[in-house]
Structure 1
């Protein structure tokens, strides 16, 4: 039985206890019929009891009944106050209702502060937006299906571990995964750029442990760790990844090799010793595991994603070990809503529509052009914007400056354009697209998942190359104008 249901049951039992005691006390005394005993029990709640109780049961009920009445009044008042407070938050604007049955929902409400509304189980409240984050994923879908008309015009964010957002074409639906956000932020915060520069862009990354986080670290790493056209960053996966590899045949087209090992990690000590970084996810007995790993590779840079990291941080204080919260970034409101990133992606798409279409550069066109896109193309723009932070790290490394003026980035424009094309290709490959020329002469066929530009940058026409250059230019220009791209 769920915690909320247990609470309701306990409240009902406590409130009805005086009535039950009164009825039972009178029945065993033989002084009253059942109906009279029931009437006297109900009367205790509102009028008190002036007679001498016939036994201990009625005496206890006489004391408990006023307390139960007072508790009921207080509970009713608190319920009414909660409803009024929620309605006021809705009327103020910007409110977000959170539905969930775990500690994550409480954490989300704490982050929302005065904009947050706790969604009562099974009932829709007024709000501007909704976050559905029940631990049982099916409950999120069931709730959405229960109120299709009411939620049709609302922005709804659904926690899901099984659906990919780029596959869902609903304007108002946004799916989020803690693991995907954790991986996105990790590769930007702990970029491989330093190691790549030091080792001539020849690196080896080992991932031990699978699950959604391990898979996300791989796919996000392939889209973020792009530093040079001729780089070779090997990704060695130590977990049963046959299904994942089969569902992502595009991994073979990445340029950076992705190798799935059939043996256990400890059976490949040489591979671990050569690793520039070892990432660890989803491990049981983390203390024992980390101790064994350090015995094998004591000097390796190890990043372990743990849901209970406090003990690891106390026990392992070596500078080459980073203990990371496996869901810390995913639980942050900014990474659930992703408002800034989506706003930037919309602007990027508008820039393209203005240059190569007939759109006008205004807010109305920005939203209209965005609505024309399918989910896959929307998230291609999101991926492009997300990579810009890596590009900025590279520019700072090259120039030693934070400047984004044209004279600063212009010497590296062609490099950045080529890397942007590589990123764009990888996004498509990860979603099972291939090179192909559609029969209708268009650039792409989304049904067959073929595109005529999924070729090396050097083989592109000058017109196609200019599109990649323009993407890079506009991002630096926005930043120079003071628009946030972080």
Structure 2
């Protein structure tokens, strides 16, 4: 009892010596120290509890991938310490492992069947089919290779015939080609010439209808041409010399070695001496500073542009993709409104759409920058993400309303070409009778052969564009 009273700076002892007096004054400090120790011990749990239960947009990032560590750091205060069991209650669950198997096993063990109504799950998958998972509307699949390709073509689109060389045809290179084929659709009778250096056997086997919209290993005066080279890039320096842009998609170290060799081997510009145009070389890298330290921004002959950095492709903006998905959803709403006018009801809402149809709308949303360019508006990806002001949207709407019939026909045909490409890329084919299960569609034919009401579907991509881009 006397010992406890010391903590209140009091004592019942009649004789107070130095040691008793010292104990009496040190007791409160000992108490404070014990309290601080307890607080520190439970601090992480308290912080996690506050973030999970009090902060609406809390994020728990799970996984051992380098991208998971980067994202936790990037999110900062909204990131929940995943070592605590309470982290499973965070509103947003992001799963990033290097292997699909590990990501699915983690989801099954900790989250499958345990989600609350407000929770959302974002799973990074490389190769696994996403169809079944995305039937659950709270689950979203993302892919960092897709993010890389999407950001690249949004930042560096092509609006006129060009020659593009892609060196390295692993996942980064394949996604760059896939998105490029869809994004770079800007004319009814012109296209882009792609030269691929790398092992393309699997890609060609998985996309066996490429020749339905592009020529393979031969020129195409009226559209896209894809050359799959069996030899190495350094055996085809004439192609590199004539290329408008070269895109390096190998690993970090390999890209640096290749770029060093290209600078030595390809000193010539891609134009005549009078024009002095600079060749653009885009190099995929995890760290932009590494490239700028080694190569700077290039010289009068080579313009070197890093892309696909961890900082760029692994962000909440591109993992959650809220703005892009909202535009895609609006595109689907427009389609439903059109069909209802024709007396067709009972159409699938966005939540019920299979993954292929959802991504068809996403692909159309990706193409918006090109559509705006063809209408005469230079809108970059940053402007689109931040939201266009009402004055600009009104001007876009007025431009569309004032289009001449022949302009409407051309724009509609370009949109139909893009739509055809998307379906052919995933191995659909024409059939007079549509059958989604067998990947057959009655509209997979030249624009001129469509019925008028089907042609109007293509122009809807422009007719309702102002509403689609309005945030």
TM-score range, shorter-chain basis?
Answer: 0.7 to 0.9
Pairing 1:383–2:346 present: no
**Alignment partners' CA distance in 1, 2:225 and 2:129:** 24
Name which of 404, 408, 415 aligns with 2:396: 404
Alignment partner, residue 302 of structure 1: 281
CA 76–211 in structure 1, closer or farther in 2 if over 3 Å, else same: farther
Matched residue of 2:330: which SS? helix
Write the distance in 1 (CA, Å) between the matches of 2:247 and 2:449.
35
Q: Which residue of 1 aligns with 2:424?
A: 429
Please state how far the C-alpha of 1:254 moved relative to its aligned partner.
2.4
* Distance in 2 between residues matched to 1:78 and 1:162, nearest whole Å: 43
Q: 2-side partners of 1:155 and 1:207: how far apart?
A: 36
Secondary structure at 2:188 match in 1: coil
User: How many Å separate the matches in 1 of 2:171 and 2:129?
Assistant: 12
Whether the 8 Å CA contact 1:96–1:128 is kept in 2: the answer is yes
Q: How far off is 1:336 after superposition?
A: 0.2
Alignment match, 2:261: 292
Post-superposition offset of 1:260: 0.9
In 2: Cα distance, 1:167 partner to 1:427 partner: 21
Counterpart in 2 of 1:269?
Answer: 237
**What is the DSSP-based 3-state SS (H/G/I as helix, E as strand, rest coil) of the residue aligned with 2:462?**
helix
CA distance change for structure 1 residues 191 and 150 in 2, over 3 Å: closer, same or farther? same
Correspondence for 2:181? 222
Q: What residue number does 2:88 align with?
A: 125
Q: Which residue of 2 aligns with 1:156?
A: 121
Note if contact 1:252-1:258 (Cα within 8 Å) is conserved in structure 2.
no
SS in 2 for 1:237: strand
> 2:294 and 2:312 mapped to 1: Cα distance?
24
Query: Would the aligned equivalents of 2:95 and 2:123 in 1 still touch at CA under 8 Å?
Result: yes
- 1:339 pairs with one of 322, 325, 331: 322
Residues 445/290 of structure 1: CA separation in 2 closer, same or farther (3 Å cut): same
Matching residue of 2:17: none
Alignment check: 8 A CA contact 2:287 2:310 kept? no
SS in 2 for 1:445: coil
Structure 1 residues 103 and 453, CA gap change in structure 2 (3 angstroms): same
Alignment equivalent of 2:292, drawn from 305, 313, 320: 313
Structure with more relative contact order (C-alpha pairs < 8 Å, separation 6 or more): 2
Q: For structure 2, list consecutive stretches of 5 or more residues without a partner in the other structure.
A: 1-31, 215-223, 270-278, 380-390
User: Higher helix share goes to which structure?
Assistant: 1
Find 1:352's aligned residue among 335, 338, 357: 335
1:369 is displaced (CA, Å) by 1.3
Structure 1 residue 424 displacement after superposition: 1.2
Task: Give 1:176's match in structure 2, choosing from 124, 142, 148.
Answer: 142
Is the CA contact 1:188–1:390 (under 8 Å) kept in the aligned structure 2? no
- Aligned 8 A contact 1:182 1:328 in 2: no
Tell me how far 1:349 sits from its aligned partner. 1.0
Q: Distance in 2 between matches of 1:207 and 1:302?
A: 10
Change beyond 3 A, Cα 1:413–1:88 = farther
* Inter-partner Cα distance in structure 1 for 2:75 and 2:33: 30
CA contact (8 A) 1:96 1:116 kept: yes
Match of 1:82 in 2: 44
Quick check: 1:253 aligned with 2:217? Answer: no
Aligned partners of 2:366 and 2:227: how far apart in 1? 26
Superposed CA RMSD: 3.0
Confirm or deny: 8 A CA contact 2:135 2:352 kept in the other structure.
no
Contact 1:99-1:119 within 8 A present in 2 as well: yes
Distance 1:295 1:339, change over 3 A: same
1:460 corresponds in structure 2 to: 450
Residue 308 of structure 1: how far off its partner (Å): 4.3
CA, structure 1 residues 418+78, in 2 after alignment: closer, same or farther (shift >3 Å)? farther
Q: Is the 8 A contact 1:99 1:118 kept in 2?
A: no
The superposition leaves residues 275-313 of structure 1 with CA deviations (integer Å, 9 ceiling, x where unpaired) of 111111114344432121122222332111122443432
Looking at structure 1, the residues matched to 84 and 432 of structure 2 have their Cα atoms a distance apart, in angstroms, of 51
Q: Distance in 1 between matches of 2:33 and 2:211?
A: 66
TM superposition shift of 1:138: 2.5
- Which stretch has the larger CA shift, 415-424 or 450-459? 415-424
Deviation at 1:210, TM superposition (A): 1.5
- When structure 1 is superposed on structure 2, of 279-288 and 173-182 the one drifting more is 279-288
For 1:258 and 1:436, the matched residues in 2 are separated by 26
Secondary structure of the structure 1 residue equivalent to 2:114: helix
Alpha carbons of 1:214 and 1:244: their partners in 2 closer, same or farther (altered >3 Å)? Answer: same
Summarize deviations over 1:322-356 as a string: whole Å, max 9, x none.
Answer: 12244443201110001111112112211211221
Instruction: Indicate conservation of the 8 Å contact 1:166/1:378, yes or no.
Output: no
SS across alignment from 1:244: helix
Aligned-partner SS, 2:192? strand
User: How many pairs does the alignment contain?
Assistant: 394
> What is the CA–CA distance in structure 1 between the aligned matches of 2:231 and 2:108, rounded to whole Å?
44
1-side partners of 2:42 and 2:49: how far apart? 11
Secondary structure of the corresponding residue to residue 247 of structure 2: strand
Contact 2:152 2:307 in 1 (8 A): no
Q: In the superposition, relative to structure 1, how do residues 212 and 167 fare at CA in structure 2: closer, same or farther (>3 Å)?
A: farther
